[in-house]
Amino acid sequence: MYIICLKELQVDIQDHVTNVEYINRTGNELHKKSSDDKAEKLKSDLDRLNARWGNVSTAIDDRVDKLEATIEQLKQYQVRAVLLSTGRHI
């Protein structure tokens, strides 16, 4: 169940990539047209947004990978438990 929620979140994040790209394009255009003070503030805000976006995306991907690996290990342990309970060995 948890992996389904994480995968849905992963899909939602991918769906928002175009929004983030649009924000970056628009921000870069504004950066070119702004005064130095405003341009620096805008660049700082965009850099912070992109760093946070990257962190969220990486964190979700890492959690999905770890959860999938844990599920696979659990399946292997279950198979071993069944084999041991039936007197068979791997």
Question: How many whole angstroms separate alpha carbon 8 and alpha carbon 79?
Answer: 28
Question: How many whole angstroms separate alpha carbon 39 and alpha carbon 59?
Answer: 30
Arithmetic mean of pLDDT, 74-88:
87
pTM of model > 0.85: no
Q: Which residues lie closer than 8 Å to 23 by C-beta, 6 or more apart? A: 46, 49
Tell me what pLDDT residue 75 has. 92
Instruction: Look up residue 64 and give its two tokens.
Output: 């999905």
pLDDT digits (tens, 9 = 90+) for 17-76: 999 999 999 999 999 998 888 999 999 999 999 999 999 999 988 988 998 899 999 999
Tell me what pLDDT residue 4 has. 83
**Structure confidence at residue 86 as a pLDDT band (50, 70, 90):** confident
* H or E stretch at 78: helix 36-85
